[in-house]
Structure formats: structure tokens, C-alpha cells
Amino acid sequence: MKILITGAAGNLGGQLCRRLADQHQVADADIVGDVSHKLDITDYQACRGLIDAMRPDIVLHPAAWTDVNGCALDPDKALRVNGVGTQHLASITGGRGIPLLYVSTNEVFDGALDRAYSEYDRANPINAYGYSKWYGERAVAQLNPRHYIVRSAWLFAHGGRNFIHAIRQAAKDGKPLRVVTNEVANPTYTSDLAQAIVQLIETERYGTYHLVNEGAVSRWQFARFVLDASGFANTPIERISRHEWPRPSLPPEYAALANHAGASIEIVLRPWRDAVRAFLEAEAAP
């Protein structure tokens, strides 16, 4: 199978490339990084040219502008990249009968429910990042019937800097830690998400999926578990409200996702605590 992967220089895109390259012909594309194909998804002609030249059997589209605060400060760019860029791919693949998998986010929801969101609960984004990703979802659903929409949440990966890295580094440096208690979602290991996506595209069961490590937790509980598992059990973390942590983009308060569709075809990610332990073990390995 010929597979085109956007955002291949990113953590999730890179994971997908590595996992699929052994059994498939993979074309890695990104606007940055050491990739085979430079691709700006906001350029319709460039997208069409690459897809027509390659004629992939499927396009995996994790490419996105994921800087949520940056999106809040420049919502037009967020919409151009995450929304219109995705619309380009949906239009081109849909017109050629090529399946498209789009990676979205729990931030398409407003966080107002008192339970985890199901796949077909009503989206109602409350920030620019969530709106731009919802725009992409609508384009994919309307323009390509052979689509997968995969929502995930609170990704952590090796390389770069994420929540786990930031919390551990602050503890090592002896900095005071203040973490919010009223933001809740599913910490998700990028390696597990990539494997779940690989399983999903083999099913040809199109639709919307919530692929997250099992279990929901607050940011404070997440941080506490990370420190306890990292040898910093005695490091205190002050509990604060999200309104005490001002930032340009306010995330939804309760944006946990429930995996019903994936579970129905036996695609379930392990509990988030197990995933964090595996991540920490891999980080410690020489």
C-alpha cells in the first residue's frame, strides 16, 4: 500500500512513518524537517501535485499547527493551516476516491458536560485552536466519504518538550510547581496512538474515533503521578484553578474522551498510568 503522511517531521507523523515503512511504501511530507517531500498544506496546487504524482492508496494527515496559545493570538493562521489546509486535502482525496485520515482533538468540545464525550456528541469549540480543528473535521466529513476522523488528547512523546518534560524539569530545578485541578482529559502516549491508527486503517471502517489512553485525570493528578513515578514524591505541587493560570487560549474544562467506536472493533489503548510508566522507562533507557 502506498501511504502519504503529512506532518512527518512531527512526533506523531514520524511515529506513523516508522511503524508503516516496513510493510508499506511510505511518502513522508512536511513543510519543515528532513523529509522526502516538502509540502505546505495551505498551498492547494502543491497538495494536488503531490497527490496526483504519488497516487497514494491512503493519506494520513496529522499535520497541524498545535500551538494552542499561538492559535489564540493568530486565529486567521490557525484557520488557514488547520482548517483550510485540511479542506484542501479532503477535496483532493475525496475527488479521487482516496481515503483520508485526519487527526483532530478533544478541544472541539466545550468541556461543559459532566461525563466523557462520545464520538458523536455535539462539537462546540471555545478557542481558536479547537475551532480550526473543527473546521477541518467538517471539511473532511463533507468532502470525502472514505474518511477517518481521529480525536485524541494531551499527547506526550519523546523529543521536544511536553507536559511531562516540563513538570520533571521544574522538579529537578527546584522550582515551585502550580498546576490546575479543574482541567480534565486523557493523557495519551503518541506511540500508543500511532499503533492504534495503524490498526484502524487496516479495518477500512470509516468514521469518527476517540483514540486515547484509557482513563481521565486532572492536570494536577497527572503531574502528581509523573513526579511520584520519577522519584520526586516529596516535591509539592500547589493546587490552583485554571483561572489562576492566565494564558491566551483557555482550554475546555472537562474534555475527556470516551472510546466507543474504537472499542467496538477491538482498538483500545492501555490505561494512561501504564503508558506514562512506559514512557518514563523509555526516557531513562541509554
Q: Which residues are part of the catalytic machinery?
A: 129
CA distance 209 to 201: 12
Short-list 105, 127, 118, 4, CA closest to 61: 4
Give the whole-angstrom CA distance, residue 286 versus residue 281.
10
Q: How many CA atoms lie within 13 A of 115 on its CB side?
A: 6
CA atoms within 13 A on the CB side of 15: 19
